[in-house]
Structure formats: C-alpha cells, structure tokens
Amino acid sequence: MLRIGLIGCGAWGKYILRDLKQLGCEVWVVARSERSQNHARSFGADKIVSHVNDLDGLAACVIATPTEFRYEYCTTLLNKFPTIPLFVEKPLTNNLAEAQALFALPNSQNIFVMDKWRYHAGVLKMASIAKEGVLGKIIGLQLTRVRWGVIHEDANTAWHLLPHDIAIAYEILGVFPTPIHAQKDITKGQIRGMKANLQVEKDNIWVHIEVSDRSPIHKVEIKLIGENGIAILGDSYQNAITIYDTNQTDKEVGKTQKEIEFVGNMPLYDELAAFVGYVKKELPPPKSNIQEAIQNVAIIEQLLKM
C-alpha cells in the first residue's frame, strides 16, 4: 500500500486525509494540536505523529499547513526525503523570495501545488469552450469570488483567494495574464478585498478579478466573454455552463441561451487522484509544477505592490 505523509490536519487537511484514504493510501499524519489530532483519528489516519522526523518510508507527502509554514516544511522534507514528490496547498508561499529559494533547491522539481480549480469540471469545460471558438474570439474573462468573513487567519484575503482565480485564468486561457492595475480594500491595516485588472497581451484578452471577504452576498462566478457570446459558470457546485448568444437582440437573448452540462468529481478528489497516480508512475505529473506556482505567487506580489 502506498504510504503518503500529510503535514497538517486542520479544517481542510481532514478532507485531504479522507480522500487519500478513499484512494487506498496508507496515511501518516503530522498533527500537533489536539484539534488536528482529533481530525486525524476521525478521518482514518493510519499513524499520527508530532514531527516530520517521525515520518518514515514515505512514497510522497502532502503539505496542508498554514501558508507561513510551507517554505519551512518543503525544505525540511526535501532534505529528509530528497526523491519523493510533494503536493503543497496553494499558494506555495506568500513570499516570492521564499518561492524562488525553493526553486533553487536540489530536487525542487518534485514540488507541485494543489490548485484544485484546475481540476474543476466546469473550469475544464470553460477551457474547451474558449479553445473551440464557441463564443468567437475571446476578448475577456471576469472572475468574481466574494463572501463575508475571513476564513484563514494566517493569510490576508488576497493571498487566500487570488491564487484560485489566477489558476483558473491560466487553465482557461493557457497563459498567465500580466498585472495592469489593482485597487485594494484596506481596513484597519488589513487587505480585505481587491479588484485587479490583468491582460493577456499577445491575444489582447483582458482579465478582471474581484475578491473580497466583506461582501454580504456570497458569489463565485466565472464569465468568459467572446465576440459572439458569453459563457457563465455561476457557482462552483453547478453542473452546467450557460451560453448567451450576444448577436441576438435584447428580447431574443433569453430565448437563445443554452446549457452545456458537465460531469465531474469534487476537484479535491481529482487532484489527489492525479497526484497519487503520478506517485504510482501510472499518470503524468499533476498540474501546477513549481515554475507555475512561482508565477502565481509573483503575480499576487506584483498586484499587492500596485
């Protein structure tokens, strides 16, 4: 049985553990707090330890710690297990210098990042729509991710939410967009939201991203805009994309809309399945290698400085 290490078993790590067990893995969990240890027991950990040095015989490792500790754990694991693949929760770090330092380490090509939206069936369908010319020439991509309340205290809203949408833009458009302008919502010294404008210069495609933890309306929406139509995925749990033919008049557009359905697993399960398949040498490397992860971090850092 494939033995996988899991560093951290908090609110999200427990679901990683659940899915790794469903994939047939033996999972050793590094959990220090009583809460994390309880999660590890409840979700079926095969062994619970308190330190990385207690891990042994791993084929791979998943890092699901708070953002500020990911650089430390990546370096420690690369030193202790230099040949095993690492799957790190996004973002890789919240510091570009640290991300680049990881890249300089031996065997850094073993690091991959868990950009689950790149495995979301709706995002993959959007990418197909963009490539197949269903909407005509693509001119824009609008990404909205707003809610009320801070989920992760260890990272501000920009570092928590923007990595998702940058990864989505990359998956749909095939390239990372270049930052142009950013307007930040800063309250009591904390970044609570951002409206960011980016552009794919070679194709003249604009990308607009809005993230916030101060919106009374919860909304996650992907809107792909072409010369002849618009495609909308209105929620992460929907199973269809709505297409609007914008060549029609205002009165006709509602009548001509159509639904493109898609089927898929939960993206967390699919990304872990891709990683486990790679570790078993049955599948190609998972998405979001270290170079792509660094590019994501670089874009966010650039937007924060604007």
CATH number at residue 193: 3.30.360.10
Same domain, 108 and 222: no
Q: Spell 4-26 as b/e; 16+ CB within 10 A means b.
A: bbbbbbbeebbbbbbbbbebebb
Count of Cβ atoms closer than 10 Å to residue 185 Cβ:
16
pLDDT of residue 256: 67
- Could you tell me the pTM of the whole model? 0.94
Same domain, 235 and 278: no
Encode the chain (306 residues) as per-residue pLDDT tens digits. Answer: 999 999 999 999 999 999 999 999 999 999 999 999 999 999 999 999 999 999 999 999 999 999 999 999 999 999 999 999 999 999 999 999 999 999 999 999 999 999 999 999 999 999 999 999 999 999 999 999 999 987 666 668 999 999 999 999 999 999 999 999 999 999 888 899 999 999 999 999 999 999 999 999 999 999 999 999 999 999 888 999 999 988 776 666 666 689 999 999 999 999 999 999 999 999 999 999 999 999 999 999 999 999
Same domain, 249 and 193: yes
Closest CA to 65 of 145, 149, 5: 5
In the block, residue with structure tokens 């893995």: 25
The answer to the question of residue 282 being in a domain is yes
Same domain, 242 and 279: no
Name the residue range of residue 79's domain. 3-114+269-288
Same domain, 75 and 127: no
Same domain, 140 and 191: yes
Same domain, 129 and 259: yes
The answer to the question of residue 76 being in a domain is yes
Which residues lie across from 242 on neighbouring strands? 232, 259
The answer to the question of residue 57 being in a domain is yes
Number of domains in the chain: 2
Q: Is the dihedral of CA 83, 89, 91, 96 positive or negative?
A: negative
Q: What is the CATH number of the domain that holds 23?
A: 3.40.50.720
Same domain, 257 and 146: yes
Which of 248, 264, 280 terminates a domain? The answer is: 264
HSE, CB side, 13 Å, CA atoms: give it for residue 50.
4
